[in-house]
Structure 1
Amino acid sequence: MRIPRIYHPETIIGLGELPLSDDASGHIGRVLRMTIGQDVLLFDGSGAEFPATIASVSKKNVTVELHNRIERSVESPLDLHLGQVISRGDKMEFTIQKAVELGVNIITPLISERCGVKLNSERFDKKLQQWQKIAIAACEQCGRNIVPQIRPLMQLEQWCAEDYDGLKLNLHPRAKYSINTLPEPVNKVRLLIGPEGGLSDEEIQMTEQYKFEETLLGPRVLRTETAGLSAITALQVRFGDLG
């Protein structure tokens, strides 16, 4: 049986007994219904993981006994920053979950001209918390010990204008070059994925002004959630740790 991996939001210092956070306690006690003596594997985002045994369980609180600290990294050598224009429904959640599993380091939700999602600040704050929890759950599932950052919402041009010392890519179905023809070596990529209706002509010109290279995945036009994950996979195969 697979030992559950649980995220502990505060840095773990030292071994011995450790009371878990409310979220972690609720997950262990109410969702997994684990009992005293069962094993768990904690991680705090520092790159290490901590084998532990449940020492006490109540409806609201769980305490574990930490055994040791193990330095273990499954991070890709490719530093990948995804700029994703917000998509409708649960597509954005799906994109975040799978992007984290595929090794993305940072995700920035974007607003563009043809973005079909309208969020006020209060609704976005709730969405941001929800998306970060999805990223944490994806790390718990896939074995990552460093949790990717979900950044605050940004306008497309604001994000494109940020200083960046890596390769900047924009998917375009009529681009001349594919990911397989990109120059090597590449260890940092900022990847822009547009909305379901695509970027406008003016936005495409804007990305060119900020030195984004146009690239394509193949002859077919992909949906926004398919395009992003396909591009991440292709980049990880070419420059990262998938193969």
Structure 2
Amino acid sequence: MAARLFVEQPLGAIALAAELALPPGAARHVQVLRLQPGDEVTLFDGSGDEWTAAVTAMGRSEVRVALKSRQPVDREMKRAVTLAVVMPANDRMDGIVEKACELGAVAIQPLMSERSVLRLQGDRAEKKRAHWQGVAIAAAEQCGRSRPLQVAPVKTLAAWLAELPSDAGEQRWLLSPVAAQPMSVLMSPSSDAQPITVLSGPEGGLSEAEEQSARARGFSAAKLGPRILRADTAPLAVLGWLALSEA
């Protein structure tokens, strides 16, 4: 199977048979795999298509390829699912981003709440966001998606809720054990293609005031069964259930 590589350059603007230099990350991948001129790779740029390309030149700092063919690809979920996750501690966010991309989420919104352990601001927040976007790209390369999950800038929960439109034509779920309903009840058959935003709290959960604020912005409480799941397990459990419901 040919290696799949993400490139930010819009490939649709490049004529077939034309050569291009791979970006540093993709070039290093080709070098590590010890590919040779004539070997094929699969390129994607986030547009939804894939391109078959052949290596034409290998250098110490540059790898060049020629585009051979273009194929439309659709491996996305029918529903556009966004995870709004209050960031867990100890680098567990890396795992959430990776698995969320594999399972089909279109975006992740990293959040900070009253009980957050991990707090990020300024340059540190942007560096983390860029790191998580790299994790998402690597996951897309591995799992076959042609549209990598997008990681939004870090925000406080209060600021994010305040910015949400009152009526965005989407379902909004709050993961909570308080006055919650099963997801099967919340997801009606008449809304098969309706986007869903899932809000998940930190290790200590959201405060009562935060839950009330979320409900005021249209979030319905959803429960995940009789057990309490970890902060890094709960959003992925919901996403896995949604993904398998389309299988």
Q: TM-score range by the shorter chain?
A: over 0.9
Letter paired with 1:165: G
Contact 1:45 1:145 in 2 (8 A): yes
- Verify: 1:73 aligned to 2:74, yes or no: yes
- Verify: 1:8 aligned to 2:7, yes or no: yes
How far did residue 209 of structure 1 move?
A: 1.1
User: Match of 2:216?
Assistant: 209
How far did residue 60 of structure 1 move?
A: 1.0
Contact 1:173 1:219 in 2 (8 A): no
User: Match of 1:185?
Assistant: 190
Question: Sequence identity, in percent?
Answer: 36
Runs of at least 5 residues in structure 2 that lack an aligned partner in the other structure: none
How far did residue 39 of structure 1 move?
A: 1.2
SS in structure 2 at match of 1:225: coil
3, 26, 29: which is aligned to 2:28? Answer: 26
How far did residue 217 of structure 1 move?
A: 1.0
Q: How does 1:154-169 map to 2 (within 5 A)?
A: 154-161=155-162, 162-163=164-165, 164-169=168-173
> Which deviations, in whole Å up to 9, do the C-alpha atoms of 1:184-203 show, x marking residues without a partner?
33321010011011001111
Q: How does 1:40-119 map to 2 (within 5 A)?
A: 40-119=41-120
Runs of at least 5 residues in structure 1 that lack an aligned partner in the other structure: none
How far did residue 180 of structure 1 move?
A: 1.2
User: Match of 2:139?
Assistant: 138
How far did residue 81 of structure 1 move?
A: 1.0
How far did residue 90 of structure 1 move?
A: 2.2
SS in structure 2 at match of 1:9: coil
Contact 2:180 2:220 in 1 (8 A): no
User: Match of 2:174?
Assistant: 170
Deviates most, 78-87 or 9-18? 9-18
CA RMSD of aligned residues (A): 1.3
Letter paired with 2:190: P
Q: Separation in 2 of the partners of 1:65 and 1:33?
A: 17
SS in structure 1 at match of 2:233: helix
Q: Separation in 1 of the partners of 2:178 and 2:226?
A: 9
Q: Separation in 2 of the partners of 1:114 and 1:172?
A: 15
Contact 1:173 1:220 in 2 (8 A): no
Q: Separation in 2 of the partners of 1:5 and 1:152?
A: 27
How far did residue 28 of structure 1 move?
A: 1.3
- Verify: 1:37 aligned to 2:42, yes or no: no
SS in structure 2 at match of 1:65: strand
SS in structure 2 at match of 1:5: strand
How far did residue 142 of structure 1 move?
A: 0.7
Q: How many residues end up aligned between the 2 structures?
A: 238
User: Match of 1:234?
Assistant: 241
How far did residue 224 of structure 1 move?
A: 0.9
How far did residue 85 of structure 1 move?
A: 0.6
Contact 2:120 2:154 in 1 (8 A): no
How far did residue 118 of structure 1 move?
A: 2.2
> TM-score, normalization: structure 2?
0.92
194, 212, 219: which is aligned to 2:226? Answer: 219
